[in-house]
Amino acid sequence: MAAEVFPGITVAPSIVHGRPVIAGTRVPVEVVLGELAGGSSFDEIRDDYHLADEQIRAALAYAARMLSSPDMSLIFPRMRGCCENATTPCGLLRSTRAGSSPRERYEDSI
């Protein structure tokens, strides 16, 4: 049975492997967001996935809520504990060069 995790968004282990979907559909939230990020209009998404504007807005609202979550580890679980310096992006300041400065390690990483 699907559980509503946000208005208009449900999750069920048997539907799209437990990913958040638009309620009453099998359309994952990430697909709607990807379409919008890729430049698709509401009209195109509505036609392609048979969604209403309210359902598309629900996906956007859910993403906004998730990104504003105080526990970002729910969103980026693989990043937890993988950095040597928790105040920097994952792996940004890592280097095999011993004794190098943070600036040198940054320049090496780009």
Identify the structural domains of the chain with CATH numbers, from first to last.
1-68 (1.10.10.10), 72-110 (no CATH)
Q: Give yes or no for a contact between 95 and 105, defined as CB atoms under 8 angstroms apart.
A: yes
pTM of the model: 0.64
Q: Is 88 left (phi over 0), alpha (psi -120 to 50) or beta?
A: beta
Q: Reply yes or no on whether the pLDDT at 95 is more than 50.
A: no
Q: Is 6 helix (H, G, I), strand (E, B) or coil?
A: strand
**Helix-, strand-, coil-residue percentages of the chain, each rounded to 5:** 45, 10, 45
CB environment 24-41: b (16+ within 10 A), e (fewer): eeebbbebbeebbeeebe
How many helices (H) and strands (E) would you count in the chain?
4, 3
In this prediction, residue 72 carries a pLDDT of 55
Q: Reply yes or no on whether the pLDDT at 26 is more than 50.
A: yes
pLDDT over 90 percentage in the chain: 57
Q: Give yes or no for a contact between 15 and 25, defined as CB atoms under 8 angstroms apart.
A: no
Q: Reply yes or no on whether the pLDDT at 56 is more than 90.
A: yes
In this prediction, residue 96 carries a pLDDT of 42
> Per-residue confidence at 97, pLDDT binned at 50, 70, 90?
very low
Q: What is the pLDDT of residues 58-82, one digit of tens each?
A: 999 999 998 887 765 554 544 444 4
